[in-house]
Amino acid sequence: MSESTQISADPPKTVTETAAATEAQPGWGRALFGLGRNGGGRSRLAHDPLALSPRARAGAYAVLVAWSLIVLFPIYWMITTSFKTPLDVNSGPVYLPGVDFEGTTEAWDYIINEEPQTTRAFVNTVVVGVVSSLLTLVLGASASYGLSRLEFRPRLASVVAFLAGIAVAVATTIAGLAWQMGILLGLAFFAASIATWARRFEFRLSNDDIAFWLISQRILPPIAVVLPLYVFFQQLQLLDTRTALIVTYVGANVPIAIWLLRDFFAGIPVHLEEAAAIDGATRPQTFWFVVLPAAVPGLVATFLFIMVFAWNEFLIASVLTSADAQTMPMLVVAQNATRGPQWWNMSVLILIMSLPVILMAGFLERFIARGLLVGAVKG
C-alpha cells in the first residue's frame, strides 16, 4: 500500500483497518483540526523493510521541521503584523507580541468596522470564486468525461470552415451589417463549406488533438487578453459586474479542469459503467450513481485548485472591476493607494480572505483520499 512509503509512525495494521483508516482519517485535516486518534512516536516493527534507522529518521524530521519553518514563517509574520501598530512595523522588525511589541487590534477594528468596502469585497470574492468554480467543474467534468469515453474524429477542414464562418460574421458586422445578419451569414458560410469543399479533405483530428487545443488556450499570457476582454465586456455593458468575472474565470479555468479531470475519468474502469448498464442504468444514471462517486477525489482536488485561482486572481479583476464588483485582492492592493503601504491593514485583509480557503481545504481533503477505486475490479 502507498502508506508504507510515507514517513509515519503508525503501527502496522491489517489491510482492512488500514484501508478504513485511509478513508476516514485524512492527514492534513487531522493535523489541522487535531481530529486524529493516532498518537505519534510509536515505532514500526523491526522487520518492516521500509522502516528508517533512528538516525535517518532524526534527519528526516530535521529537514521537515526546517521546511515547515520556512513555509510557516510568512504566515506567522502576517498574523503578527495584523496586530502591530504602524510604528511597530516601520521602526524595524519586532517578532513576539507582548515581548518586543504591544499587540493591538486597531487594524482589525478598522478593516471590519470602518472600511466600508470589506463586506462587499468579501461577498464578491466568495460569490465569484464559488460560482465560477462550480460552473467550471460542471463544464470541465462533462467535457473530460466525453473526451475519455467517446471517440471524436472531426475533420480538420470542418474546424477551419467554422473559424472561417466566424471570420465572415465578424467581417460583415464590422462592414456595417446588423450583427444578427452577420451571424446568419457566418453560419450559412459554415454550412455551405461543410457540404462542399470541406468534405474533400480526409485529415481528421483525434481526442488528443482536442485536449491539446483546449490546454493550449492557456498558453497565451493573461495580460495579452486583458484588453480585448475589457472591450468585450464594455460592449456588453457588463464592466464592473460579478457576471463578467465569473464568465472570464470559467473560460480561463475550464481548460485546466479538463486537463486535470481527463486522467481521473480515464482511470475509472469502463467495466463499472458496463456493469451499471447491465444493472439497468441509463447513461445519466450511470454517470450520476457510478462515475461521479468514483471521480469525487478528482473533482474535489480540481475544485480546490481552480477555486484558489479565482479567489486570488488580480490582473483580470483589476481591469474588469472598479467598485461594485471588486474582490478582496483589489481591496488589499487599495491599502497601498494614498498613504503608502498599510501593511497592518493588508495583513488583516489577507488573513480574512485566506481563512475560508484554508477551512474549505481542510474540510474537503477527506474526499481526496486515495484508493477510492480499490476493490472495484480485480487488478
Partner 1 sequence: MAGMNLDGVGKTYPDGTRAVRSVNMTVEDGEFMVLVGPSGCGKTTVLRMMAGLESVTEGTLSIGDRVVNGLPPRERDIVMVFQNYALYPHMTVAENIGFGLRLQKVPKAERAERVKEVAEMLEIIDIIDKKPKALSGGQRQRVAMGRAIVRRPSAFLMDEPLSNLDAKLRVQMRSELIQLHSRLNVTTVYVTHDQVEAMTMGDRVAVLRSVGGEGQRPNLQQVGTPQELYEQPANLFVAGFIGSPSMNFIETNMETQGSEVSFMLGVDRVVLPAGVVESTPRLLNRDTPVIVGFRPESLSLRKSHDHPNVTVTGTAEVTEYLGAAAHITFRKAVGIAVVSHHTDRSTADAERHGFVAQVETDSMPQTGDRVEFFLRPEHFHFFDPEDGRSLR
Task: At 244, give phi and psi (nearest 5°).
Answer: -60, -45
Candidate ranges 79-87, 207-215, 333-341, 367-375; the one touching partner 1 (CB under 8 A): 367-375
Work out whether 277 is an interface residue with partner 1 (CB under 8 A). Answer: yes
Candidate ranges 14-22, 89-97, 217-225, 312-320; the one touching partner 1 (CB under 8 A): 14-22
Largest CA distance in the chain: 82
Q: Quick one: DSSP state of residue 51?
A: P
Instruction: CB nearer to partner 1: give 25 or 173.
Output: 25
How many residues at the interface with partner 1, by CB under 8 A? 30
Work out whether 99 is an interface residue with partner 1 (CB under 8 A). Answer: no
The contact mask relative to partner 1 for 315-354 (x = CB under 8 A, - = no) is ----------------------------------------
- Alpha carbon distance 7, 51 (integer Å): 8
Work out whether 16 is an interface residue with partner 1 (CB under 8 A). Answer: yes
- Alpha carbon distance 183, 162 (integer Å): 12
Work out whether 15 is an interface residue with partner 1 (CB under 8 A). Answer: yes
Candidate ranges 43-51, 254-262, 288-296, 302-310; the one touching partner 1 (CB under 8 A): 288-296
Instruction: CB nearer to partner 1: give 299 or 372.
Output: 372
Instruction: CB nearer to partner 1: give 47 or 153.
Output: 153
Among 168, 229, 290, 304, binds partner 1 (CB under 8 A): 290
Nearest distance in Å: CB 379, partner 1: 8
- At residue 16, what is the residue type? T
Q: Is-contact 305 260, C-beta < 8 A?
A: yes
∠ CA 227-231-235 to the nearest 5 degrees?
A: 170
Work out whether 139 is an interface residue with partner 1 (CB under 8 A). Answer: no
Among 75, 274, 315, 355, binds partner 1 (CB under 8 A): 274
Instruction: CB nearer to partner 1: give 138 or 373.
Output: 373
Candidate ranges 11-19, 177-185, 313-321, 322-330; the one touching partner 1 (CB under 8 A): 11-19
Candidate ranges 56-64, 206-214, 309-317, 369-377; the one touching partner 1 (CB under 8 A): 369-377
Grouping H, G, I as helix, E, B as strand and the rest as coil, residue 1 is coil
The contact mask relative to partner 1 for 292-311 (x = CB under 8 A, - = no) is -xx-x---------------
What DSSP string describes 163-203?
A: HHHHHHHHHHHHTT--HHHHHHHHHHHHHHHHHTGGGG---
CB atoms within 10 A of CB 154: 13
Work out whether 71 is an interface residue with partner 1 (CB under 8 A). Answer: no
What DSSP string describes 325-354?
A: T--HHHHHHHTTSSSS--HHHHHHHHHHHH
- Alpha carbon distance 215, 257 (integer Å): 9
Instruction: CB nearer to partner 1: give 225 or 275.
Output: 275
Work out whether 21 is an interface residue with partner 1 (CB under 8 A). Answer: no
Residue 21's H or E segment, with its range, is: helix 15-24
Nearest distance in Å: CB 270, partner 1: 9
∠ CA 45-51-52 to the nearest 5 degrees?
A: 130
- Alpha carbon distance 326, 317 (integer Å): 7
Return the axis-axis angle of helices 222-235 and 242-266, rounded to nearest 10°. 130
Return the axis-axis angle of helices 242-266 and 292-312, rounded to nearest 10°. 140
- Alpha carbon distance 157, 194 (integer Å): 8
- Alpha carbon distance 27, 32 (integer Å): 9
Candidate ranges 106-114, 217-225, 242-250, 281-289; the one touching partner 1 (CB under 8 A): 281-289
Instruction: CB nearer to partner 1: give 278 or 323.
Output: 278
Work out whether 377 is an interface residue with partner 1 (CB under 8 A). Answer: yes
Instruction: CB nearer to partner 1: give 88 or 365.
Output: 365
Q: Quick one: DSSP state of residue 197?
A: G
Q: Interface residues with partner 1 (CB under 8 A)?
A: 15-16, 19-20, 269, 271-272, 274-282, 285, 289-290, 293-294, 296, 371-378
